[in-house]
Every structure is written in C-alpha cells, then in structure tokens.
C-alpha cells in the first residue's frame, strides 16, 4: 500500500457522465486483482473517494504500467476528478481491499453488473483464463448509459492530433474489447437495447449454468439477489457462491477509522479492509442501510 502522485495519461467521457481515466501507477498495476480499489484525494474534500480498479496494463517499461478507473459523476469529488486531463497528477492511495476470488474448479462464471458496477467486472472478465466460460449480464437504465465496449484492440496513450481532444478516435481507442469467450447480455430498463427490464429479471435463467456468480451494482440489486438466494433454498435454483462488491462511505480506506464497518454473519467487518468483496450470503441484508 502506497500513497503517490500519479499522472493522468488520459481522461475520456465515454458516455454521458461516465469517465474512463488512465493513471500511471506501476506499483498498483503490478499487483492489482479484480475487485480491489484505490482512493483519490479530491481538492477541498475531507474524505478520499474510492474507485475500483477497472483495468490494468503492464507496460514493457515497468514504470509506465497503468491502471484505469471508470467512474460516474455523481457529486463534488467525481466532478472535480472528471475535470482533470492528461498530464495532471492526482494523489492516489492503493492498492486497497480484497478482490474477487475464483475457485480452482469453477468453469462457468456469471458476472452481473448494474450501472457503474461494470467497472470491476470488466477487469474480472478480462483476467479470467481460457478455461473459463463467462456470461456478463449488464444492466443500465437506457442504451446510452451502457459502457460502449469496442471491438478495436486496446491502445494505450492514444496520441490524438492536437485539437481532437475527446474526439471519436480517442474515445474508441481507449475502450476495451471483451474477450471472445465472454457472452455479453445487455439489459435496459427502457428496452432501448437488449432485454427490457432489470438484470435480476433474467438472472434466474442463468443460475442453473453458473458455478460462481460475481456482482457489482446498487444495493437493491443485491437485496433482490439475496431474496432469490433464500427462495432458491426451496427450489433448486441457487445463486451459487455469489460474491458482491459493497459500497459504503469510507474514511481512511485502510482499516484504521472504523467508518466503514458493517455487521455480517461472520461478525463485524470493515468493508475497506475485509472487503469490499463479500459473499452475498454473509451479509445481513435486512440490516444494510448504506
């Protein structure tokens, strides 16, 4: 774990209000696992803001290795961050928390993303080995808000000709393609792309197939999944071995301030230090008010 000033190598608004930001952070890139996070100090704010690692690129020149975060502008901190550009430096603390874990014998992995919850799951999908079959169910309110996956190969440090700025060229070359092995199922609330409804509407269709489930999204999505998991005890369709990434207000991010503690079936846990990834079944959802 280290606090460092990291240079932004690019910051692109890939869809309205959603930014993809690459940072030069070799120490973090070298060890990051899907589900782990960093915190960013935002000017004028007392609390650092946490963001999941969205992507990692190990450069041949180790010092140039980078990590990406994908964030949605929701308030002062994310607005401040969104206004920073290539070359600006930001104060990063990382690597923090424990990420997702994939069992040695699991083959069929179901990834469930709600909204900006896609951020850590792209990293997970891309880190899976060829032996894994991955299905990614990804929900948003409307087509425009879906992460615009690109089929182009990933290029780092896009060098847009001057003035092009956030042009389509830079946008596309920053985006990621999903590995061919990933089956991608978009869901939108308005039906503008993919199935109409919520991710949890179609989730049951995949529960027979999935050996492990990984979810990141709003708390209500988790609560619905937890209910499904309960009901499944009576039927056969269980949300098996489901890991979720929790979002709570954080102070220190390193287990020192007790600001992020939640109650679980395994006792009190610090989300920053023991999580943010927890087993769905370990969380006392009726107590969760975050």
Partner 1 sequence: MIQGISLQRLPCYNKIIAVRTNSLNLRVQLAPRHPKGLMLDNPVMTASGTFGYGTEYSGLIDIQKLGAIVCKGTTLMPRRGNPQPRLVEIVGGLLNSVGLENIGVDAVIRDKAPIWASWRVPVIVNIAGETIAEYASAVAKLEGIPGVSGIELNISCPNISVGGIEFGVNPKLAAEVTSAVKAVTSLPVMVKLSPNVTDIKEIALAVESAGADAISLINTVKGIAIDISKRKPCLGNITGGLSGPAIKPIALYMVYEVAKVVHIPLIGCGGISCAADALEFIMCGASAVQVGSANLTNPRASLDILEGIKHFMSDKGIHNLADLIGVAQV
Ligand X SMILES: Cc1cc2nc3c(=O)[nH]c(=O)nc-3n(C[C@H](O)[C@H](O)[C@H](O)COP(=O)(O)OP(=O)(O)OC[C@H]3O[C@@H](n4cnc5c(N)ncnc54)[C@H](O)[C@@H]3O)c2cc1C
Ligand Y SMILES: Cc1cc2nc3c(=O)[nH]c(=O)nc-3n(C[C@H](O)[C@H](O)[C@H](O)COP(=O)(O)O)c2cc1C
Residues that bind ligand FES in the complex, under the rule CB under 6 A: 250-253, 255-260, 270, 272-273
Give me the 95-134 binding string for ligand X, x by CB under 6 A, dash otherwise: ---------------------x--x---------------
The least CB distance from residue 107 to partner 1, in Å, is 36
Bridge pairing between strands 212-216 and 108-114: parallel
141-146 long-range contacts, CB within 8 A, separation 24+: 141/115, 141/188, 141/189, 141/190, 142/188, 142/189, 142/190, 142/192, 143/186, 143/188, 143/192, 143/193, 144/15, 144/16, 144/192, 145/15, 145/16, 145/18, 145/115, 146/15, 146/186, 146/188, 146/193
Q: Which does 116 bind (CB under 5 to 8 A by kind): ligand Y, ligand X, ligand FES, none?
A: ligand X
189 binds partner 1 (CB under 8 A): no
Q: For residues 7 and 23, is the Cβ–Cβ distance under 8 A?
A: yes
Tokens of 79: 């607005």
Query: Is residue 91 a contact residue for partner 1 (CB under 8 A)?
Result: yes
* Interactions with ligand X, residue window 247-276 (CB under 6 A): 247-250, 276
Residue 74 contact partner, candidates partner 1, ligand FES, ligand Y, none, CB within 5 to 8 A by sort of partner: none
Residues in contact with partner 1, counted by CB under 8 A, come to a total of: 30
Q: Given the structure tokens 């003035």, which residue do they identify? A: 163
Binding at 129: pick from ligand Y, partner 1, ligand FES, none (beta carbon under 5-8 Å per type) = none
Distance in angstroms (rounded) separating the CA atoms of residues 103 and 237: 20
Interaction between residue 75 and ligand X (CB under 6 A): yes
**31 versus 256: smaller Cβ distance to partner 1:** 256
Among residues 78, 174, 224, 264, which is the contact residue for ligand X, using CB under 6 A? 78
Q: How far is the CB of 237 from ligand FES (least distance, A)?
A: 35
**Tokens linked to 59:** 């450069």
Least distance between ligand X and beta carbon 145 (Å): 12
């Amino acid at each position: 774990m280290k606090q460092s000033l990291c240079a932004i190598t690019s910051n692109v608004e890939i869809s309205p209000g959603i930014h993809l930001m690459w940072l030069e952070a070799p120490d973090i890139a070298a060890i990051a696992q899907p589900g782990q996070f960093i915190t960013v100090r935002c000017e004028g704010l007392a609390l650092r803001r946490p963001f999941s690692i969205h992507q990692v690129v190990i450069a041949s020149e180790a010092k140039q290795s980078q990590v990406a975060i994908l964030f949605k502008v929701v308030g002062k901190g994310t607005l401040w961050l969104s206004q920073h550009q290539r070359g600006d430096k930001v104060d990063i603390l990382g690597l923090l928390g424990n990420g997702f874990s994939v069992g040695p014998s699991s083959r069929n992995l179901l990834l469930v993303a709600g909204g900006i919850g896609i951020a850590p799951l792209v990293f997970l999908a891309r880190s899976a080995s060829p032996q894994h079959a991955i299905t990614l169910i990804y929900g948003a309110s409307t087509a425009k808000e879906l992460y615009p996956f690109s089929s182009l190969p990933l290029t780092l440090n896009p060098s847009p000709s001057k003035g092009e700025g956030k042009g389509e060229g830079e946008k596309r070359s920053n985006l990621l393609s999903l590995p061919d092995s990933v089956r991608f199922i978009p869901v939108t609330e308005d039906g503008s792309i993919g199935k109409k409804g919520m991710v949890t509407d179609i989730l049951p269709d995949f529960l027979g197939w999935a050996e492990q489930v990984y979810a990141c999204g709003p708390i209500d999505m988790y609560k619905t999944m937890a209910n499904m998991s309960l009901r499944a005890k009576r039927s056969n369709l269980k949300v098996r071995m489901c890991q979720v990434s929790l979002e709570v207000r954080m102070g220190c991010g390193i287990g020192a301030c007790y600001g992020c503690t939640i109650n679980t079936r395994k006792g009190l846990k610090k989300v920053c230090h023991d999580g943010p990834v927890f087993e769905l079944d370990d969380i006392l959802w009726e107590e969760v008010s975050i």
